[in-house]
Structure 1
Amino acid sequence: MDSVWQAAREGCPDEAGRGKGVAGQTARREHEGRGARRRGGCLGAFGVLALAMATGASAAQPAWPQKPVSVVVAFSAGGTTDILAREIGASLTQRWGQSVVVENKPGASGNIGTQAVVNAAPDGYTLLINSIGPIAVNPALYRKLPFDPQKDLKPVVLVADVPNVLVVHPSSNVKTLAELVQRMKAKPNGYNCASTGVGTAAHLSCATFAQQAGVEVTHIPYKGADALNDLLGGRVQFMFATIPSVMGHLRSGALVPLAVSTQRRSPSLPNVPTVAESGYPKFALGSWFGYFVPKRTPDEIVARINADVNAVLAEPVIKQKLQSEGAEAVGGTPQQFADYVRSETDKWGKVVEQLGVALD
């Protein structure tokens, strides 16, 4: 690069020929003739310099991705986060020409997997697909959370909004939410509510519902999808589960849906009423899922991931698949997602405070 710079300087006209009088004028004319020829060399040399600098900058920032990309799921395999990661990851693999490898790192209500991404190299090769629990709930739930989602992670894109649905085992012979509440009141703490972990949307939905319905239930937290396994085995009585995680079991009759948790009915379960419709008008809690990366990940890589995930979410096959499973594809910009995360953190913080739930 130094040799190119030197050549550029040598190819430029100097300041000679500025003397006064006849001799000076003659010198200036000769110099101007030489300068005209040398200016062409100057511009050409600086063009070479600019090209060399651009080439060097390009070489310093190789195209991404050049190797497999890991997507961390902070919950067990089989849950909604895992389902979304694998479905979207398959399409991203085709777009990127590199494998997208899903890594399940469950534990501590999603904190273990989230912490792993916070500590990962900010090079775009470790992504996090996460839900409201570790991102918007845990900052209020845990007094000593080892990370701050808004300071240590960079939002990339909101993937989907997903309602929860209150489901029971068919052996309960319960057909409506009103009937379930009646039985709970007749047997305080006699019904176990499973959740995918302390502080998850499933847990807070259960606690909020019990508070509004005036019933006492026993909360049983699990590591992710293990909660669903015990519900299917009849070892717990009910849970608020994300629709994608239970859709297959609803179709087969292995589980019975009583009510969805959002303000409006789910298009995938049009005949299932909302909790609000069933007598609790203030109840409206749902889940969402999105991609994050370590905080110092370059903006160019964030923009690339954002654009490609948005493109995947716009694919008719993906949109239809998500909708059939009870998820609504969202998309958007990183800034829109960051703003949404802030508002959701405020909202769920108030829910945690109202319920009086806190952990060390």
Structure 2
Amino acid sequence: MTLSTTIRKLAIPVVGIALTLFAQQSPAQDQDWPKRPVNIIVGFSPGGTTDIIARMLGVELSKAWGQSVIVENRPGAGGNIAGALVAKAAPDGYTLFMGSTGPLSVNTSLYKRMPFDHLKDFTPISLVADVPNMLVVNPKFMPAATFKDFMGLLKANPGKYFYASTGSGTASHLATELLKHEAKVEATHVPYKGAVALNDLLAGDSVHFMFATIPSVVQHVRSGKLKALAVTSKKRSTGLPEIPTVAESGYPNFDASSWFGLVGPAAMPKAVSEKISADIARVMATPDMRAKFIEQGAEPVASTPAQFGDYMRSETAKWEKVVKLSGASAE
């Protein structure tokens, strides 16, 4: 089962999830939490996809809760610094982690020493979004109008072109390594710390292309500063249906999307995690929120805490194979 297939199965009952969890809560539980502002910790720089999604969700949850939702950026180590901070926080629901594919499934296969066990040290709350990565080039420095042109340039110039990633072992890195393996092409990796990779891609000083999450680059694609050649999901993006997939462009098994979800420290009260999950489901089911996410190139989803926990386990097994295939290591 592919990532996108699993996400679609989780996304179908969004409204039902909200209504079911809401019915399980008593009025007293609703009144008890939250009594004060809630912090959502993000493991990457401002302006990146994790940050964008956290802030979009935070605005709506703040309205629902009548409390401020503060998004705090703690970038570094592929999201591990932020994850460790939340894992050690009090399990009262006031410190949450907007995690993603990396810290919640991939990093355990990349780092010899992890500051947390992502399957034991967190309370899963809900999936929030499925975001395809998009292959973008700087058209001034890599003259590729189509994915076919792009592959032709790589095959004719082994190792000549440089690709940016948001860090070793991140989704942008692994997506490129997976393509290199399947297409038998070469390109040189230039890892950055988070979303700053885009700065050099836009300038064209050091790198020529990258796989980036759609929300982080869609404005530059629409302005013409970057050229979008393909997306990494099995199906085309709802928000950018004109961009073909890598799968339909000659590599049918290629699937390397990213996902984002909210977790808290282990041992959070069940009533609190279920309330947050239900509130996320209600927010993500509204036409306004769905439209905002789709405009950014993200597919809004939701899940129960149990579903999200199962999904994290299945994704951990999936990406372990990809990491071994790529030979990637963060140390």
- State the match for 2:34 in structure 1: 65
Residues in 1 aligned to 2:86 and 2:304: alpha-carbon distance in whole angstroms: 21
Whether 1:202 aligns to 2:172 is: yes
| In the alignment, structure 1 residue 253 sits paired with structure 2 residue 253 | no
| Alignment map for 1:77-156 (pairs within 5 Å) | 77-156=46-125
Mapped to 2, the partners of 1:203 and 1:307 lie a distance apart of 33
Q: Out of 274, 281, 288, which is 1:303 matched to?
A: 274
Instruction: Report Cα offsets for 1:284-337 as digits up to 9, x if no partner.
Output: 110000000000111111011111111110121110110111111111211111
> Is 1:237 aligned to residue 208 of structure 2?
yes
Residue identity (%): 53
In the superposition, relative to structure 1, how do residues 178 and 124 fare at CA in structure 2: closer, same or farther (>3 Å)? same
Q: 2:124·2:263 contact (CA, 8 Å) conserved in 1?
A: yes
Q: CA separation in 1, counterparts of 2:326 and 2:57?
A: 35
Shift of 1:62: 7.4
Does the CA-based 8 Å contact 2:168-2:328 persist in structure 1?
A: no
- Structure 1 residues 342, 59: closer, same or farther in 2, change over 3 A? closer
SS at match of 2:32: coil
Going from structure 1 to structure 2, the CA distance change for 1:59 and 1:264 (only over 3 Å counts) comes to: closer
Inter-partner Cα distance in structure 1 for 2:310 and 2:41: 23
When the two structures are superposed, what TM-score results if normalisation uses the length of structure 2? Answer: 0.88
Distance 1:173 1:269 in 2: 21
Residue 359 of structure 1, CA deviation? 3.8
Shift of 1:283: 1.0
RMSD between aligned residues: 1.7
- How far residue 111 of structure 1 moved from its aligned partner, in angstroms, is 0.8
After TM superposition, give the deviation of residue 61 of structure 1 in Å: 11
Find the counterpart in structure 2 of residue 324 from structure 1. Answer: 295
Aligned to 2:187: 217
State the aligned residue count.
303
Alpha-carbon distance change, 186 to 103 in structure 1, aligned in 2, over 3 angstroms: same
Distance, in Å, in 2 between the alignment partners of 1:220 and 1:99 is 38
Amino acid at match of 2:110: L
Partner secondary structure for residue 39 of structure 2? strand
For 2:270, the aligned partner's letter is: D
Structure 2 SS opposite 1:241: strand
8 Å contact from structure 2 (residues 238, 299) kept in 1:
no
Is the Cα contact below 8 Å between 2:134 and 2:231 reproduced in 1? yes
Give the distance between the partners of 2:227 and 2:330, measured in 1 at CA.
32
1:134 shift after superposition: 0.9
Q: Deviations over 1:202-261 (max 9, x none)?
A: 110011111111111111111211011211111310000111111111111111000110
CA positional deviation for 1:185:
2.2
SS of alignment partner, residue 64 of structure 2: helix
8 Å contact kept, 2:168–2:329: no
Distance 2:322 2:105 in 1: 11
Which amino acid in 1 is paired with 2:324? E
**Could you report, residue by residue, the CA deviation over 1:82-126 in whole angstroms, capped at 9, with x for unpaired residues?**
001111100111111111000000011111111111111111110
Amino acid at match of 2:74: K
SS of residue paired to 1:297: coil
| Structure 1 counterpart of 2:102, one-letter code | G
Structure 2 match to 1:349: 320
Deviation per residue, 1:19-54 (Å, 9 max, x gap): xxxxxxxxxxxxxxxxxxxxxxxxxxxxxxxxxxxx
| Whole-angstrom distance in 2 between the partners of 1:61 and 1:259 | 44
The one-letter code matched in structure 1 to 2:204 is G
Residue of structure 2 in register with 1:183 after alignment: 153
Deviates more, 1:265-274 or 1:160-169: 265-274
Residue 232 of structure 1 aligns with an amino acid whose one-letter code is L
Q: In 1, are the aligned partners of 2:233 and 2:257 still within 8 Å (CA)?
A: yes
Given candidates 274, 288, 294, the residue that maps to 2:259 is: 288
Distance in structure 1 (CA, Å) of the matches to 2:234 and 2:31? 47
Aligned to 2:133, the other structure's residue is in SS state: strand
* One-letter code aligned to 1:234: G
Query: Aligned equivalents of 1:266 and 1:138: distance in 2?
Result: 26
Listed as ranges, the gaps of 5+ residues in structure 2 are 1-26
Contact 2:126/2:308 (8 A) holds in 1: yes
Q: Where in structure 1 are there 5+ consecutive unaligned residues?
A: 1-57
Q: TM-score, normalised by structure 1?
A: 0.81
Which has more radius of gyration? Answer: 1
Partner Cα distance (1:230, 1:331) in 2: 34
Q: Aligned to 1:226, which of 179, 192, 196?
A: 196
Residue identity matched to 2:117: D
**Structure 2 letter corresponding to 1:265:** R
CA apart distance, 1:59:
10
